[in-house]
Amino acid sequence: MADRGMRGSFTSFLREPIFHFVLAGSLLFGLVQLNTPPDPQAIRIDDRVISQLAARYQRQFGEAPPADRFRALIGRHIYEEALYRHGLALGLDRGDEIVRRRIVQKMEFLAGDEGDVGEPTPAQLRAWYQTHQDRYRQPEQISFRQIYFSPDKNGEAAALTRARNALQKVTAGVAVDAIQSDQFSEGEHFILVEPGQIERIFGSSALTQQVSSLPLNQWSGPLRSGLGWHLVRLEAKIADKPPALESISGRLRQDWREDRMAANQRDAIGRILKDFVVVRAGVAKSL
């Protein structure tokens, strides 16, 4: 009975808030004891500090600090540590916009760094590719031949007329080699070229805009480029279809991992936000 009473009062004591308070307090005290130097006025320069300073210097300058630089680094560390601690004691960190933003930045950074996201399985990679196909599409590519009629020879109108006459001839079956045309310095046969490349050669012109929608395997035109008149024969067209997964697996893996990291960061920040209650007062109620 008494035993039971003892046990009863002990368990009820375990439920007492005061016990929790004391327990939490002593735990905190212990942690603080472990983590802060015994004397808040003592600045300890031990091997840990030295290796931190060296590592920071190495990161920034790509080499270990030379001896003379080291003494300066330690001096700087002491100077900053003293001012930092004194400032904290004065409560300067509170209400300071710069400190506030730095801490927010740090939290964002930490949230984005929640462990490695691992490697995608083949199935995950495939699924990622399926849902983001647009991102990996390659531009349309076409192959075509052209015959050139230069306005430098007798002018614009004559070039157009020569091109029209030539179209009649090739359509009637005259061999291309038998056509009186002008030499085009950029070449006559264009193989697997993309819109950007076509525009670089022919300018922002009717030819550039229309070439990929011409009928296949027949001579069309005349079309004006930035250089003159052309007859064009479209020979092949590869729509801007997505490339094979294997050929871009490296990029897919990278993108998948980046996406995962971003998602983890969003989740981690979401968990923090969830624990807060927002109280709106005054004007804010209607905003």
Partner 1 sequence: MRRSYIIKAGPIITVFALLSACQTEVPHPQSTRAAEPPAPVSPAQRAALFGELHMHTAFSTDAVMLVGTTVTPDQAYRYARGETVTVLGQPIRLKRPLDFMAVTDHAEQIGVGYEMLDPRGRGAQTPFGARVRAGKPSMDDLRGIFLSKTVDPGVDSESIGRSTWKRVVDAAQSNYQPGRFTTFVGFEWSSTPTFQNLHRNVIFKSADVAYPYSAADSERPEDLWSYLEANRRRGIEAMAIPHNGNLSNGLMYDWKDSDGRRIDRAYALRRQENEPLNELAQTKGVSETHPSLSPEDGFADFAIFEGLFNGGISKASGSYLREALGRGLVLSEEVGANPYLTGFIGATDDHGGLFNTDEAAFRGGGRYSAAKPFTLEDARALLVDDKNGAPINELNTGSGGLTGVWAESNTREAIYAAMRRRETFATSGTRLKVRLFGGWNYDRALLNKQRRWDMAYAGGVPQGSNLPHRPTRAGAPRFLVWAQKDPDGANLDRVQIIKLSTIGGKMRERIFDVAFDRGRRIDSATGQLAAVGNTVNLTTARYTNSIGAAELASLWVDPEFDPAHPAVYYARVLEIPTPRWSTVVAIQHKLPAPKSVPAVIQERGWTSPIWYEPNG
123-131 CB contacts, 8 Å cutoff, 24+ apart:
124/256, 125/245, 125/249, 125/252, 125/253, 125/256, 126/245, 128/252, 128/255, 128/256, 128/259, 129/242, 129/245, 129/252
Whole-number Å distance between alpha carbons of 162 and 220: 14
Identity of the residue, 5 or 215, whose beta carbon is nearer to partner 1 in the bound complex: 215
Q: Check binding of 222 to partner 1 (CB under 8 A).
A: no
Give the one residue of 69, 156, 169, 269 binding partner 1; rule: CB under 8 A: 156
Residue 147's nearest CA partner among 225, 260, 255, 248 is 225
Whole-number Å distance between alpha carbons of 189 and 233: 10
Give the one residue of 211, 219, 221, 225 binding partner 1; rule: CB under 8 A: 225
Give the one residue of 123, 244, 279, 284 binding partner 1; rule: CB under 8 A: 244
Q: Check binding of 42 to partner 1 (CB under 8 A).
A: no
Region of 5-13, 58-66, 162-170, 275-283 interacting with partner 1 (CB under 8 A): 58-66
What is Dmax (Cα atoms) for the chain? Answer: 123
Look up tokens 């330690």; give the residue.
74
Q: Check binding of 141 to partner 1 (CB under 8 A).
A: yes
Task: Identify whether the C-beta of residue 186 lies closer than 8 Å to the C-beta of residue 198.
Answer: no
Region of 14-22, 231-239, 252-260, 274-282 interacting with partner 1 (CB under 8 A): 231-239
Whole-number Å distance between alpha carbons of 23 and 30: 11
Q: Check binding of 229 to partner 1 (CB under 8 A).
A: no
Identity of the residue, 205 or 265, whose beta carbon is nearer to partner 1 in the bound complex: 205
For residue 143, the SS3 value is strand
Structure token pair of residue 137: 């599409």
Give the one residue of 7, 187, 262, 271 binding partner 1; rule: CB under 8 A: 187
Q: Check binding of 17 to partner 1 (CB under 8 A).
A: no
Q: Check binding of 228 to partner 1 (CB under 8 A).
A: yes
Q: Check binding of 243 to partner 1 (CB under 8 A).
A: yes
Give the one residue of 129, 202, 219, 256 binding partner 1; rule: CB under 8 A: 202
Residue ranges that bind partner 1, judged by CB under 8 A: 60-62, 98, 101-102, 138, 141, 143, 150-153, 156, 183-194, 196-197, 199-205, 216-217, 225-228, 235-236, 238, 241, 243-244, 246-247
